[in-house]
Amino acid sequence: MMERPGLYIRRHSRTAAAIAFGCKTMVVTHLAWFPDARMNGYVPVLTVAVGLCHALAGIVIGRRIIDTTSTQTSSQACVLGACTSLLAMAFLAPPFALWISLTNARPEGAFSNLFLSFLIGLFSFLAVGWALLLVSAGVGWALYRLTISRATK
């Protein structure tokens, strides 16, 4: 029964990682908002953007999680899953900072945009990023375990 998901993950490692990381992120982010805010204003756009950034990070790191020669233990897969979440935050912070500076704040220069990106990344992590990091570690573990169960049989 577990052979089919493991086989799919092995054959399409980047796609499987993108789907797994992107979907779990959109669910966690959606549930992190207050119920009244979940479908109002720019919240759905931000939820999708965070999911897409995690999917993109899953494409980048997904093959490494699945590769049993470079990732040899479940704990290494958990660390790679957590790194996927941190990479996604790095993907999200600059465009989000640009959007904020274009719509709200008027930065003084390039350093202001870099500092704003850093602050957005930091406060995003403090708001919900820590939960995404923990869940991403679990997704990395699950992808590895599904793959390793297929590889050992």
Q: Which residues of the chain have pLDDT under 70?
A: 1-3, 105-107, 149-153
pLDDT recorded at residue 115: 87
pTM of the model: 0.85
Cα(93)–Cα(67) distance, rounded to whole angstroms?
Answer: 29
Distances (CA, A) of 7 to 72, 76, 136: 18, 21, 21
- Tell me the C-alpha distance between 52 and 22, whole Å: 6
pLDDT of residue 107: 61
Q: What pLDDT sits at residue 2?
A: 47
Phi, psi of 40 (to 5 degrees): -115, 145
CA dihedral (131, 46, 58, 4) positive or negative: positive
Q: Is the dihedral of CA 87, 92, 95, 98 positive or negative?
A: negative
What pLDDT, on a 0 to 100 scale, did the predictor assign at position 100? 82
Residue 144 CB-half CA count within 13 A:
24
How many whole angstroms separate alpha carbon 73 and alpha carbon 89? 25
pLDDT of the residue at 105: 66
Neighbours of 16 (CB within 10 A): 23
